[in-house]
Amino acid sequence: MKLHEAHLHQPRRARKMRVGRGPGSGNGKFAGRGMSGCKSRSGYAAKRGYEGGQMPLFRRLPKRGFSNTNFATEYAVVNVSDLAVFEAGATVGPAELFAKGLTRKLGDSVKVLGDGSLDRALTVRASKFSATAVRKIQGAGGKAEVV
C-alpha cells in the first residue's frame, strides 16, 4: 500500500440510519416499519412459535406419550483414563474432579466410565460406575465407592 492509496477520509463503518426524521431522510413517517401490524409497534419481540395469529404448529400437532427429560438425572461423565492426573493413593471425589477441571459444576453427579486404563491405586467416590470402570479401578489396586 502506498500513501496515495490510503483512503483516510472514509469512515470505518457506515453511519447509523436515523429513522423517523421526516420525508427528506427517506425513512420518515413509518420509519421503515411498514404501515401496521405487530412489527410496526414499539416493544415488538417475536414470540417463539408465533405464526401471526394462525394456530401454531406445535399446537396443531397431537401430543402423545411421556417425556422424562424434565426429571432425568444428568451425570458428568469421567473416564478411567482421566483419573491419571491424581497421585497414587489419593481419594478422588466430585470436589477433587471439579478442582482438576474434569467436571463443570461442583454439585454434578458423577458417573465413571471404563474408557482407557489406570496404572495407580485410587479410591474413587462417585454416584455411579460402569462395570468396566469398577473392574479397572480394582485391577489397579484401588476402590470404587458409590456416594
pLDDT beneath 50, residues of the chain: none
All three cell numbers of 44, joined, read 415488538
At position 93, the amino acid (one-letter code) is: G
The whole-angstrom separation of Cα 62 and Cα 64 is 6
The whole-angstrom separation of Cα 81 and Cα 112 is 10
Q: Tens digits of per-residue pLDDT, 93-123?
A: 999 999 999 999 988 899 999 999 999 999 9
Q: Residue 89's pLDDT is what?
A: 94
The whole-angstrom separation of Cα 83 and Cα 140 is 12
Q: Residue 50's pLDDT is what?
A: 87
Q: Tens digits of per-residue pLDDT, 130-141?
A: 999 999 999 999
* Cα angle value 63/58/55 (rounded, 5°): 120
Burial class (CB within 10 angstroms; exposed 0-12, middle 13-18, buried 19+) of 122: buried
| H or E stretch covering 108 | none
End-to-end alpha carbon distance in the chain: 67
The whole-angstrom separation of Cα 108 and Cα 134 is 20
Which CATH code, of 3.100.10.10, 3.20.20.140, 3.30.450.40, 3.30.565.10, is assigned to 75-146?
A: 3.100.10.10
Q: Residue 39's pLDDT is what?
A: 85
State whether residue 131 is helix, strand or coil: helix
Q: Residue 71's pLDDT is what?
A: 92
Q: Residue 142's pLDDT is what?
A: 95
With beta carbons less than 8 A apart as the criterion, state whether 105 and 98 touch: yes
